[in-house]
Structure 1
Amino acid sequence: MKHELLLLHNKEKMENSNSYEYSRKVMKDVSLKELRDRLAEFARVRGWDQYHSPRNLLLALVGEVGELSEIFQWKGEVERGLPNWTSDDKEHLEEELSDVLLYLVQLADVCGLDLGILEGTLEQ
């Protein structure tokens, strides 16, 4: 799934789900604002926004980064594109990277920061 982002999309499942299992759908060209808004709505619908303090989201983010690092822990140095990885390993990596991104976007949001400002910085 090159250059695509896995994220929650199915609003019906989002509103009816009681777990943090995302309904994932491949989407292209999703803006950070759209992702931020969807995540905020996802948390609001469940009443989780009351627990989404900067500290709690940072701790969750660190936990996800830990899970991400475990994927690489015993693999040694890996080549770009991960040519020697199984499809299951790559899928697991996609899931953990998505989790890290989701928590990062939520953390920036509750801190009142706009990650979209990076876009302008990269263009300079």
Structure 2
Amino acid sequence: MKSWLFTIMRNTYNTAVRLKLREVTGAERCISENCSTSANQEWVSRARELQDALHEIHPEMREVIILVSVMGSSYEEAAEICGCAIGTIKSRLNRGKAQLLEKLGEENRHSVLETPQQGRF
């Protein structure tokens, strides 16, 4: 039994060492530096369209979209920054996204702003 357990422990250790060598974490260089592909022309063009459309909507809605959708702030944080109620933030975000989609010529928000959730169309 002792030799059998020793063999299992040795094999487990060797497997862990091999995995560590293959999957180095905390490397000196950032992983993003290894990415050599640049944005293709379509994405650059689409980003310009989105930026232009964002500047065409009402400033209050633009501020909420940037705070919540881009910067990832919670509704509570956005409400505190804007000095209004959480319901107002939700309303501005919803109306702002709708206006943004209209300016971009999109039919639904799943195509640009959000990934579709399972079970919803």
Query: TM-score if structure 1 supplies the norm length?
Result: 0.31
Q: Which has the higher helix share?
A: 2
Q: Which has the higher strand share?
A: 1
Query: TM-score if structure 2 supplies the norm length?
Result: 0.31
Higher relative CO (CA 8 A, sep ≥ 6), structure 1 or 2? 1
Higher-Rg structure is 2
